[in-house]
Amino acid sequence: MLKILFFGQLKDVLKTDELKIELVKGASAIETVAMLRETLQLKGELWQEYMAYGKALVAVNQEISKETAPLKAGDEIAFFPPVTGG
């Protein structure tokens, strides 16, 4: 199982701060961050928009990660909006 956290605007727009998803759904497994994004985008139009690559940064087990980062059972994945500085 994956624990998925949402922060900032994502939490507000998607109306959730946490989801738990099985790593294997049916015949397919969620093996990478990119595959997780694709799975989340199936939840609807808002999810398609806000989970699109470039719309949300991602951390796996509290480390900023790339789309190719592998996922395993027990991982904590956090999505958050890009941060701008001043």
Domains in the chain: how many in total?
1
85 belongs to a structural domain:
no
> Which pLDDT score, from 0 to 100, does residue 34 have?
95
86 belongs to a structural domain:
no
> Which pLDDT score, from 0 to 100, does residue 86 have?
55
Query: Cα(64)–Cα(75) distance, rounded to whole angstroms?
Result: 13
CATH number at residue 62: 3.10.20.30
Q: Could you count the other beta carbons within 10 Å of the beta carbon of residue 27?
A: 5
* Domain containing residue 73: 2-80
Evaluate whether 1 touches 21 at the Cβ level (below 8 Å). Answer: yes
> Which pLDDT score, from 0 to 100, does residue 64 have?
95
How does pLDDT run along the chain (86 residues), one tens digit per residue? 999 999 999 999 999 999 999 988 767 899 999 999 999 999 999 999 999 888 899 999 999 999 999 999 999 999 998 876 65
